[in-house]
Amino acid sequence: MVDLAKRRFLKQGFCGLSVYGVGAIWANALIGGCSSQHGVQLQAADENGVKLPAGFRSRIIANSSQPVISGEEFLWHAAPDGGACFSTDNAGWIYVSNSEVHSSGGASALVFSSDGEVVDAYPILENTRNNCAGGATPWGSWLSCEEIDAGRVWECYPDGQTSAIVRPALGVFNHEAVAFDEKNLHLYLTEDKTDGCLYRFTSNQLDRKGFPDLSAGNLEVAIMQNNPVTESKRVVLDWVAMPDPLAQQQATRYQVPAVMKFNGGEGITYYNEQIIFTTKGDNRVWSYNTKNQQLDILYDAKESLTPILTGVDNVTVSQTGDIYVAEDGGDLQIVVIDNQGSIYPLAQLEGHDSSEITGLAFSPDGRRLYFSSQRGTSGLSESGITYEIQGF
């Protein structure tokens, strides 16, 4: 049993996120240790069914429907999906993960000690629906998104003690994921529909620490400023206020004429004034420059000379600007698009044909990468598996 005093200590002082300032070690290990002109070779599957480059290793840290820690009642949730890591004040960290279950979703947390051992686990959000992806905030909360037509965003707290707060100002629609623009204090949101939109939220006021107050603000939707067919191949976006963010009369994606449509918006993240997101319907990875408002396609499976990435889904970025994309379908790989434009696999699941890879997140020190097989080898939500991999 975990000492409760230790648990309380672990719950104090959350700061730092998985997507900020980590991952250089991974790039160095891949390029310097096991690749030739970025041609990473995956080895045979290990005992956990994970194919990795030479020198990398995996471990299972949680199984759906099973106790995370022997002797404790808490069971890891079904269908683990989007996730993120948060630092604790004792050099440990917490990995949070959504549960994409229709009637009893939510999110849970795994607490790690400074040496990487799991020392606690508990729910941080319960009884919501289809919690798919989301996004971490620099003020230490996790934004958990409901992937249903009337979906909302819930602000959750990794400490397991602070109650989650629903944030309807972020819109009511088929939410997928959220990314925070730390320079301009905007939140960008994807919508998982074949005719979905890209949204931007600006809060009405800041709190005492200078962070956005998510209780009220302006929700906007992206439209094309130019016609890329006649003017330029590069799309420039404008933003138009949503008339009815709560979608009381009409779905948000139909409220503004001439919105730019995205075929199945998935993961989204922020790096160096770029909003990077994926669309599964056309297997694309996009980059939106928040400074000049230009939108570019970084990767398109139909146009790529090395179209190894399909079924694009969750995404995160390392401190060197390398993009890590999880596959939902394809050949169930985690694929890296490095900052030179090269593309190669980092990991692949064997025997998980009816599952998908979810929840990519680096530990705060960048030494570990977390992800899940949402439905494991059985293809059932109750059989999800959450992994950790290290590269040295």
**Coil vs helix vs strand at 360:** strand
Q: How would DSSP label each residue in 145-209? A: EE-STT--EEEE-TTSSSPPEE-GGG-SS-EEEEEEETTTTEEEEEE-STTB-EEEEEES-B-TT
Name the region of 129 (left: φ>0; alpha: ψ -120 to 50; beta: rest): beta
Range 186-209 average pLDDT: 97
Percentage of the chain beyond pLDDT 90 is: 81
> CA torsion sign, 232 to 233 to 234 to 238?
positive
Asked whether the whole model's pTM tops 0.75, one would answer: yes
For 270-307, write each residue's pLDDT tens digit.
999 999 999 999 999 999 999 999 999 999 999 999 89
Kindly state the average pLDDT of the residues 225-247: 81
Would you state the pLDDT for residue 30?
55
* 314 neighbors 361 (Cβ within 8 angstroms): no
Q: How far is CA 358 from the centre of its chain?
A: 8
Q: CB 20: neighbour CB atoms within 10 A?
A: 17
Residue type, 147: E
Q: Measuring CA to CA, which residue among 317, 392, 388, 390 is closest to residue 95?
A: 388
Q: How many of the other CB atoms lie within 10 Å of CB of 358? A: 28
**125 C-beta neighbours (distance < 10 Å), count:** 25
* Domain boundaries, given as residue ranges, for the chain: 4-390
Taking CA 40 as the corner, what is the angle to CA 52 and CA 360, rounded to the nearest 5 degrees? 50
Which residue reads 């009409």 in tokens? Answer: 250
1: which residues sit within 8 A by CB, 6+ positions away?
71, 72
Q: How far apart are CA 282 and CA 264, in angstroms?
A: 8
**What single-letter amino acid sits at 194?**
T
The larger pLDDT score, comparing residue 92 to residue 10, is at 92
What is residue 341's predicted lDDT score, i.e. its pLDDT?
83
DSSP string across 285-314? EEEEETTT-EEEEEEETTT-SS----SEEE
Per-chain mean pLDDT for the chain: 89
Measured between alpha carbons, how far is 386 from 229 in angstroms, rounded to an integer? Answer: 44
Q: Give the HSE-up count for residue 7: Cα atoms under 13 Å, Cβ half-sphere.
A: 14
pLDDT attached to residue 234: 74
Domain 4-390 carries which CATH code?
2.120.10.30
User: What is the average per-residue pLDDT within 76-100?
Assistant: 97
Beta bridge partners of 188: 179, 200
Q: Which backbone phi and psi does 148 adopt, to 5 degrees?
A: -140, 165
